[in-house]
Amino acid sequence: MGSPLRRYFDGLLLLLLATGFFTLASTGRLAWPVVAAAGCAYAARLYGFLRRRSLTLPNSVWLAGLLLYLPLYAADALLWSKSLLQATLHLVVLAGAAKLLAPDSSRDALFLGLLAFLEVLTAALLTVSGLFFVLFLVFLVLLVATLVAHEMARAEAHGAAEGAGSPLRPLFRFSLLLSLAVALSSVLIFFLLPRTGMGVWAARPSSRGLSGFSDEVQLGAIASLQRSDVPVMHIRLVSSDPPLTPAEFQQIPWRGRGLTRFDGQRWTSGSSPGLYGTQNGRLDVSRFAAASPAEMVRYQVTLEPMSSPVLFFPAQLLRASTRFPVLAWDRATGTLAGLGGDFAGTSYAGVSDLAHPSPDALRAEPRARVRFRFGFQDDLQLPDNLDPRIPALARSIVASAAGDDWDRMQALTQYLQTHYQYTLDNLPQGADPLAAFLFDQQAGDCEYFASALAVMARTLGIPTRVVNGFLVDSYNPLSGEYMVRGRDAHTWVEAYFPGQRRGLRRGLGRGRGFQPGTWMSFDATPSGSTAAAGSWPGGMVLDALSTMWQEWIVNYDWMRQARLAGRLQASLAASATRAWNRGGGAASAAWQQFRADGGVGGPGRLEWGAGALLLATLGLVWTGRRRGWWLGEAAGGAGSGEAAAARRARRAYRRFQRALERAGFARRPAQTSEELLGEVAAARPESPLLAASTAFVAAYQAVRYGTAPPAAADQLGRLLTQVRRCR
């Protein structure tokens, strides 16, 4: 393995390569055979490093393996990954891993370091996870340390390195300080450099599809998302009136897309949304509602990269603030969505009203008035081939319920919750999966429960729609945000209850004394079936880092930069004003105290104290200069050991040269100590300066080049003082 410095460089290079590979593998974009093969190569290299064995393959074997992989590369691009970019990524990772076992050379080290950097750069384009932020910091430290160690090892190989003791510890300490300086400089450049929406690297991380939130949803499609533990949304509660506790806020469902038409196997949206231009991204939805807000809640949402344009919010939405100039709002389904295809890490804010009528008020509303509302054809639509057993089952369930729609919906909900089981496996299929769920398997996921409730309610004349959304998973106290994962995807039903239309004016949707209709939520899924598992503390830390990374790095644009600059400018101005006022007040108080203590006519205690402090400072500086305190040349100076003694001797010799220069004996370049003493002897053959200089040079050479113990360096300060006195 060579010298300790060379082994130090080899270890850092191996850690650097492993960090780059793990950073890319953590994105989940590498196939598991590629990860396994590359991992075996890294493990073999690590084993050889720890055992001090050289496990290398001839270059011919490495090239032959690369040529043999080319057919697999073509098969990967055409059959397995079905992507030329993905197959090329696999090729690069495997080639780099195989290069670890190739013969060692400086060119190979440069190639491998460049490969590790490209792996980290590729990972930056594929993920917005906070784990990447942690791995990037580790990679930065290792990169600086590896570059410094490489230069030191190369200098040592050419015989240019010298010094006593092992340089590994101060070398790594210097690498850490250099990495910190690079990181701080990068942060300043990132936050101060003007943001722009153009550039070569404008590509965002790849989006993944979000099942269950498109215009057409197959029955049971959301089950694949419910098996995922990946975070899909983070929510920050800004304010609420009345205040909400974290436990109360987690009970609020977040609706996404409403679906109205059902053909027996899939739900679709039967209406077309309206397009509305926003005011700097803000859309006021409250103009479509007639009720006055009662329970306001303000929030901020950050979506993870996904291909769905749907924006999630609690009903009823009043106002949305996004980055989109145009938003699609579907009044019939209550769905808000953006336009375009780039929804990677979308952040938006919203205001919703959580208030809803009491059950007594809903019971008092006559069901027959629903017929007067325009647009309920889809909300009452039923499949053409509906199984006749479903309406019969619905009538039998509500036979004992009261005649109002509220009690009927409650009866249907309780029946489904108590007579059917929740499962994500072996979901009902076939030509009529809803009938199979109700009468055969009697087990399904939340979409089956919601579909059964919506269809049975429609057979009773109650307008309903199915809503896909999320429940809130858990609260992260580190980031102050609520975390929603894929497993929290949920489906429920909204039923319409009409308002009282006293004094209704013809042709208008609202009139004097009019109380608007309300969509009320009903969840027929058995309680506890959608409960999320708790998060371990380490997961909370990584989630907080992910939130910080996405908020301040991924979503940091020129608008956020402008707001940050404005807040910083205002904060600095306020701080400067406070400092000026406090400084002026302190100066005025000191002046008043000065006048009270001594007056203008004679010296007081303040003046005497300032004078004594000045004299003490001057005395300390003069004494330290004479005794060499500032250079650590006196006894008990800086450090101990041979290396510390050599440093103290070099500093003392530089001071000795300056002292002789002031006496008229300037040292010329390449002039030795003996030649300098010869000039002093020729000019002052019997002066005390010659004796003091000769004694100092002898002590210096004994410490610097001779066999004198390190403690002998303590005498140099005393001898230097004698030289200065004899000038």
Output the CA–CA distances (angstroms, integers) from residue 30 to 35, 37, 194, in the order listed.
7, 11, 34
pLDDT at 302: 84
Kindly give the residue spans of alpha helices, DSSP state H, lying in 355-494. Answer: 359-363, 389-397, 405-419, 433-436, 446-459
Torsion of CA 127, 129, 133, 138, to 10 degrees: -80
254: confidence class by pLDDT, cuts 50, 70, 90: very high
Determine the length of the chain: 727
3-state secondary structure of 496: strand
38: confidence class by pLDDT, cuts 50, 70, 90: confident
pLDDT tens per residue, range 623-638:
655 554 444 444 444 4
Pairing of strands 254-259, 261-262: unpaired
End-to-end CA distance of the chain: 56
Q: Please check whether residue 693 is in contact with residue 667, taking contact to mean a CB–CB distance below 8 angstroms.
A: no
120: confidence class by pLDDT, cuts 50, 70, 90: confident
Q: How does 279-307 read in b/e, with b if 16+ C-beta sit within 10 Å?
A: eebebebbeeeebebeeebbbbbbbbbbe
Q: Please check whether residue 266 is in contact with residue 219, taking contact to mean a CB–CB distance below 8 angstroms.
A: yes
Of residues 344 and 24, more confidence is placed in 24
pLDDT at 147: 79
pLDDT tens per residue, range 143-185:
888 877 777 777 666 554 444 445 666 666 766 777 777 777 6
Q: Is the pLDDT of residue 258 over 80?
A: yes
493: confidence class by pLDDT, cuts 50, 70, 90: very high
Alpha carbon distance 724, 626 (integer Å): 8
295: confidence class by pLDDT, cuts 50, 70, 90: confident
pLDDT at 373: 44
- Edge-first strand order for the sheet with 254-259 is 254-259, 464-470, 489-497, 518-522
pLDDT at 640: 46
Q: Please check whether residue 249 is in contact with residue 314, taking contact to mean a CB–CB distance below 8 angstroms.
A: no
Which residue is listed with tokens 């506790």? 245
Alpha carbon distance 107, 92 (integer Å): 17
Q: DSSP for 541-585?
A: HHHHHHHHHIIIIIT--HHHHHHHHHHHHHHHHHHHHHHHHHHHH
pLDDT tens per residue, range 506-560:
333 333 343 457 889 999 998 766 544 455 555 667 666 676 666 666 666 655 6
Q: What percent of the chain has pLDDT over 70?
A: 71
pLDDT tens per residue, range 343-402:
555 788 999 988 888 888 777 655 544 444 444 577 888 998 899 999 999 999 998 876
pTM, rounded to two decimals: 0.57
pLDDT at 160: 44
Mean pLDDT over each residue of the chain, to the nearest integer: 76
Alpha carbon distance 180, 218 (integer Å): 52
Token pair of 324 as six digits: 């989109």
Q: Is the pLDDT of residue 12 over 60?
A: yes
